[in-house]
Structure 1
Amino acid sequence: MPTKSLRVWFAPILAIMMLLASRAHAELPDFTGLVKENSAAVVNISTTQNPKSQTGMPFDQRQLDQMPEFFRRFFEGPNGPQMPGQQQPLHSMGSGFIVSEDGYILTNNHVVDGADEIVVRLSDRRELNAKVIGTDPRSDIAVLKIKADHLPVVKMGHSSDLQQGEWVFAIGSPFGFDYTVTAGIVSAIGRSLPSENYVPFIQTDVAINPGNSGGPLFNLDGEVVGINSQIYTRSGGFMGVSFSIPIDVAMNVFHQIKDQGFVSRGWLGVLIQEVNRDLAESFGLKRPRGALVAEVLPDSPAEAAGLQPGDIILKYNGEQINLSSDLPPMVGRTKINETAELTVLRNGEEKELDVTIGKLPEDRQASASEEPSPSVSGGPLGVSVANLTAEQRQQMGIKDGVLVQNVGSGPALDAGIRPNDVIRKLNNETVSSVDDFRRIAGNLPKGKAIPVLVMREGQSTFLVIKTEK
């Protein structure tokens, strides 16, 4: 009898558990139909680079293993990484996808960079030689063309519609295993990676490995929303953090390469830095946000518009800037000679500035001099400074500033100021001479966070000095 009673009591519980399990199973996405619809437009890309004369010592696997953690691109041969110095053809692999019926293909630039031969293998096992129509190393995009007609094509989505937590899946050729499908969710959007300022990457936990590079990232509508590009790894393999180029960025590059043969980007002409908690406090912001202008480049659109070091750009064309990394992609996708509206914080007040966006130059480098100046002066912040010579100002390309010669214990040392730094602004006031520095430093408010603009090795950056109470 007790056993029967227990059975009667347990049966409803079991039924509820089975119902919940079935509902949970029903809510998981089914990728089978999506994979069948889209696999035919995904291609395998293999490249061959003929041996070239090498100088210097070859790079061995032991050196690679000793590298610290890094962002690794997936450009590897079937037998592992191809090392410089090997006097034999280098064979590499990657993925791509067809975007037009007449044979245009998108992939990563690093998949085909330096290749002497590119072979595209289609889903019907045809192998066709591909021609590079154009590349854009800044966004890591390459446009290829094969001679074929009536090809299957992918359906394009909009990466701007992606949301964190959304299901996505990838099709590619990891380690040469063609048409491998992996799935996961969007972990984050708008990620900024080192040396990739113009690409707001999509971060996912989709398994990506060597050979996946250049392959498509799909949403649950079967639309391409990204191009798989990089992973973050400590082991050299997938560790749950992968990055894709947003398809909105990729298609903009594709159309420019196809239509004009090159890619042009908007240019503002400022060096910016992140606004942390201390900087936010020193500039009177309630919370860290915006892009802090550390330097305005000469003869730039920013200079013509009246932007100044110490301005914090809060909005670009009405769009909020929460992180400094938000700004470069916004500027980069603005058309040349188009007027953009900036909302900046200057001396505690918001201002509206109109700027005519220019064309991003290929290369801009700042120069710096570390030769000491003979004039020395002490200061209340624990730092000794000197006037810059005319030659030093010319070499650095600046009209103001004082050279830091020695840093003793005190607020300056705590702020991270070093010898050979050039202090250009203190508490938002321009420092043109030692006398200026003495005057401003002597009148600083007590117990406050004070912004100080310094130039170090040709780059301007803001630090925060906290004065003693």
Structure 2
Amino acid sequence: MAAVLMLGQVATAQAEALPDFTTLVEQASPAVVNISTRQKLPDRAVAGQMPDLEGLPPMLREFLERSMPNQGPRAPGSPKGDRQREAQSLGSGFIISADGYVLTNNHVVEGADEILVRLSDRSELKAKLVGTDPRTDVAVLKIEGKDLPTVKLGDSEKLKVGEWVLAIGSPFGFDHSATKGIVSAKGRSLPNDTYVPFIQTDVAINPGNSGGPLFNMSGEVVGINSQIFTRSGGFMGLSFAIPINVAMDVANQLKAGGKVNRGWLGVVIQEVNKDLAESFGLDKPAGALVAQVLEDGPAAKGGLQVGDVILNANGHPIVMSADLPQIVGNLKDGSKVQLDVIREGKRKMLDITVGALPDEGQEMAAADGAGAERSSNRLGVSVADLTAEQQKSLDLKGGVIIKEVQEGPASLIGLQPGDVITHLNNQAISSAKNFTEVAKGLPKNRSVSLRVLRQGRASFITFKLAE
């Protein structure tokens, strides 16, 4: 009897230790909305894309059929046979002001001809697109209304790894579904998402949750659920949310001027791995290695050079290279950023005036052309001087172009004919003859860095000579 009593007490204690989300869901759900969009597409744009749904469970088949483009009438004036179909998508969002401003993901509403917002009372309102920012995947909508239910906004900077969080959204069209989990990590960098330090969670996020809110236990929105890592198409325990501090900064700029202004240095950077750290004389792999400095950009004007390793920006340590664009992106055009860099083994402080991030990236023309005098060396690569035209197109004063790759270190690290080498072992290369001289003096059994331009993109590669 005593044992049974003790087990009951343990179970009660465990139940009391687990969080209760009921009040949070009741209070927050009215401000969470379902977002559906329609986009008119010509018949030929979707022809042949209708999968065979036979054999699927009836409920799943019905859902997929509702979500697929539907046959519609031919648009007036369109060629015969070019009928219009409507592509539909589903997502989530949340109301941030009583007069009807709504936050969601850019990818939920991108390309939409019509946006419908369904409230918790199941009423539907047409939404106006105020603005979008593809770089952070944030969109701001406006619906007509007053005294609308709103969410409480939190501070994503105060989030701690391990604390409970809850998501409310419309996965697979099931409105106001609540899922819970913990914060798995903060400041995650994802490919092609340079300006967002994502919150990683293990909250179950699925298609339809995109754009929905992520709440802390105080019922405050701390993020916008945006992406999942998946091999199956569904939830696998890795979900990513845009921090609400980032999202609100973007939203306020979109509301004020319809666009987002970000700071820009005008550099191409890369991660500092163990071998690169050794080649640059660093104690540990950290920082952002400057692989390319764009002509007439803020960095070029401020004295930043290729091969500099940025360790600190405005007092913030640069641990991963992705930390730098997030810091600089938050600065305004014309503001100053102080960079702590390592150059040729020595510490150096630079004050640079930040520019405005261009709407489109700047790329240099790729090098391609006939070489002059050739030179072979122990790297197993044949190089030639760049022509005057090539140097001008690439904005270089030196460098060599690879004409042939034989067996050896160059082949092992993936060098290709047409690649342009500008630096070897932290030394600028002025000619094929200079390249051969530097190659002769390379150390053995130690990481050596090589800067390569390929199709206008610069990167540092490391290798070791074993002989």
TM-score by length of 2: 0.90
The answer on whether the counterparts of 1:77 and 1:93 sit within 8 Å (CA) in structure 2 is no
Contact 1:78–1:176 (CA under 8 A) maintained in structure 2: no
Matches within 5 A, 1:30-45: 30-45=20-35
CA deviation string 1:6-55 (max 9, x = no partner): x8xxx45x555444433322221110011111111111111111234646
Summarize the Cα distance change of 1:77–1:335 in structure 2 as closer, same or farther, 3 Å threshold: farther
| Displacement of 1:393 | 1.7
Task: Name the CA distance, whole Å, in 2 between partners of 1:38 and 1:263.
Answer: 29
Name the stretch that deviates more: 436-445 or 254-263: 436-445
Distance 1:163 1:455 in 2: 41
2:102 paired with 1:105: yes
Q: Report how many residues are paired.
A: 446
Q: Which consecutive residues of structure 1, in runs of 5 or more, have no partner in the other structure? A: 1-6, 63-75
**SS of residue paired to 1:197:** strand
Shift of 1:117: 1.4
The 10-residue stretch of structure 1 (340-349 or 19-28) with the greater mean CA deviation from structure 2: 19-28
**Of residues 201, 204, 207 in structure 2, which corresponds to 1:207?**
204
Q: 1:351 aligns with which of 348, 354, 359?
A: 348
Distance 2:308 2:330 in 1: 22
* Correspondence list, 1:267-278, <5 A: 267-278=264-275
* Equivalent in 295, 300, 307 of residue 297 of structure 2: 300
Check whether the contact 2:363–2:457 (CA below 8 A) recurs between aligned residues.
Answer: no
Q: Which runs of 5+ in 2 are unaligned?
A: 53-62, 72-81
For 1:249, what is the secondary structure of its paired residue?
A: helix
- Secondary structure in 1 aligned to 2:193? coil
Counterpart CA distance in 2 for 1:151 and 1:56 is 38
1:375 partner amino acid = E
1:388 to 386, 399, 405: 386
- Rounded Cα–Cα distance in structure 2 between residues aligned with 1:78 and 1:366: 46
| Aligned residues of 1:118 and 1:131 also touching (Cα < 8 A) | yes
CA gap 1:56/1:127 in 2 versus in 1, 3 angstroms: closer
Cα separation, 1, equivalents of 2:279 and 2:5: 61
Secondary structure (helix, strand or coil) at the match of 2:132 reads strand
2:430 paired residue among 426, 429, 432: 432
Matching of residue 116 in structure 1 with residue 113 in structure 2: yes
Equivalence for 2:12: 22
Match of 2:276 among 272, 279, 282: 279
CA contact (8 A) 1:107 1:214 kept: yes
Asked whether the 8 Å contact 2:96–2:150 carries over to 1, the reply is yes
Contact 2:68 2:88 in 1 (8 A): no
**Matches of 1:289 and 1:398, distance apart in 2:** 28
Which of 133, 137, 160 in structure 2 is aligned with 1:136? 133
2:214 aligned to which of 211, 217, 233: 217
The answer on whether the counterparts of 1:199 and 1:329 sit within 8 Å (CA) in structure 2 is yes
What SS does the corresponding residue of 1:199 show, helix, strand or coil? strand
Distance in 2 (CA, whole Å) between partners of 1:387 and 1:167 is 60
Alpha carbons 2:179, 2:203 under 8 Å: kept: yes
Q: Which residue of 1 aligns with 2:376?
A: 378
Contact map agreement 2:67 2:89 (CA 8 A) in 1: no
State yes or no: 1:412 paired with 2:430: no
| Cα RMSD after superposing both structures | 2.2
How far the C-alpha of 1:230 sits from its partner, in A, is 1.3
The AA in structure 2 aligned to 1:297 is L
Return the alpha-carbon distance in structure 2 between the equivalents of residues 272 and 394 of structure 1.
22
SS of the residue aligned with 1:134? strand
Aligned residue for 1:213, secondary structure, equals: coil
2:150 counterpart SS class: coil
* Letter matched to residue 34 of structure 2: N
Aligned to 1:73: none
Q: Is the 8 A contact 1:78 1:92 kept in 2?
A: no
Give the direction of change, closer, same or farther, for the CA distance of 1:340–1:436 in structure 2 (3 Å limit): same
Contact kept, 8 Å, 2:367 with 2:419, in 1: the verdict is no
Percent of aligned pairs with the same residue? 55
> Contact 2:228–2:235 (CA<8 Å) still a contact in 1?
yes
1:333 to 330, 337, 358: 330
Distance across 2 between alignment mates of 1:263 and 1:452: 37
Shift of 1:192: 1.6
Once the two structures are TM-superposed, the CA of residue 129 in structure 1 deviates from its matched residue by: 1.1
Give the Å deviation of 1:214: 0.7
**Deviation at 1:425?**
0.4
Rate the CA distance shift 1:293–1:177 in 2: closer, same or farther, 3 A.
same
Tell me: CA distance 1:288–1:61, structure 2 relative to 1, closer, same or farther (3 Å).
farther
Assess if the C-alpha contact under 8 Å between 1:199 and 1:245 holds in 2.
yes
Q: 1:80 deviation in Å?
A: 4.6
Whether the 8 Å contact between 2:425 and 2:450 is mirrored in structure 1 is yes
Q: 1:304 Cα deviation (Å)?
A: 0.9
Residue pair 2:371, 2:385 contacting (<8 A) in 1 also: yes
Q: Partner residue of 1:368? A: 366
Distance 1:105 1:300 in 2: 36
Q: Secondary structure at the match of 1:386?
A: strand
In the TM superposition, what are the counterparts of 1:125-204 in structure 2 within 5 Å?
A: 125-204=122-201
For residues 21 and 347 of structure 1, what CA distance do their matches in structure 2 show?
Answer: 63
Judge conservation of contact 1:316–1:340 (CA < 8 Å) in 2.
yes
Once structures 1 and 2 are overlaid, which stretch shifts more, 141-150 or 122-131? 122-131
**Residue 371 of structure 1 aligns to which amino acid in structure 2?**
G
| 1:203–1:241 contact (8 Å) kept in structure 2 | yes
Is the contact made by 1:372 and 1:420 (CA closer than 8 Å) also made in structure 2? no
Q: 1:460 is matched with which residue?
A: 458
Note if contact 1:58-1:83 (Cα within 8 Å) is conserved in structure 2.
Answer: no
Q: Is the 8 A contact 2:312 2:341 kept in 1?
A: yes
Change in Cα spacing, 1:401 to 1:145, as seen in structure 2 (3 Å) is same
Per-residue displacement from partner, 1:126-152 (whole Å, max 9, x unpaired)?
A: 211111111111111111111100111
Separation in 1, partners of 2:25, 2:251: 24
CA 308–95 in structure 1, closer or farther in 2 if over 3 Å, else same:
same
Q: Which residue of 2 aligns with 1:92?
A: 89
> Does the 8 Å CA contact 2:364/2:393 hold for their aligned counterparts?
no
Aligned to 1:69: none
Question: Any idea what SS the aligned residue of 1:24 has?
Answer: helix
